[in-house]
Amino acid sequence: MAFLTDRKRATGLGSAKSGTQHFWRTRVQSVALFFLIPLFIFTFGPILGSSYEEVTAFYARPFPAVVAGLTILVSWFHFADGVQVLIEDYVHGLAEKILILLMTCISYAAAAFGIYAVVRLAL
């Protein structure tokens, strides 16, 4: 039987000092997406099914391009934060670190490709 103090039992299990920041960042992203998703649907919907020339002319205007870019960017960052929480909750050890690194790289790459696609359409 081990006689451990409460402090000794809690060593290594304490706060990582980033949970509150992560929580608020996720909430701010959720509120931003609450407004961005309907804007994206209303700007993307009318152009759906149009020819390439019409789509490039439509996204050459600043408002639809900015809405699409912000929606893509915030969505992928929100996805990355959510999946990170899932991985932290259910995977442990080296696999946790590898999966978080892999998921972060994939999310940032997808966001970069999405922004690149919108910029190519807009210019």
| Domain boundaries, given as residue ranges, for the chain | 19-122
Tell the CATH topology of 19-122: 3 helical TM bundles of succinate and fumarate reductases (1.20.1300)
Mean pLDDT of 25-40: 96
Residue 49 CA to residue 54 CA, distance in Å, equals 10
Specify the pLDDT at position 22. 85
pTM (global) more than 0.85:
no
**52 CB neighbour count, 10 Å cutoff:** 8
pLDDT score of 56 more than 80: yes
**Average pLDDT of the residues of the chain:** 90
pLDDT score of 65 more than 90: yes
Which residue in this structure is represented by tokens 């402090």? 7
Q: Judge residue 106's burial from the number of C-beta atoms within 10 Å of its C-beta, 0-12 exposed, 13-18 middle, 19 or more buried.
A: middle
pLDDT score of 114 more than 60: yes
pLDDT score of 29 more than 80: yes
Query: Which token pair is 44?
Result: 């993307």
Specify the pLDDT at position 20. 82
Confidence of residue 1 (pLDDT cuts 50, 70, 90): low
Alpha helices (H) in the chain, listed in sequence order: 6-10, 19-44, 52-59, 62-90, 94-122
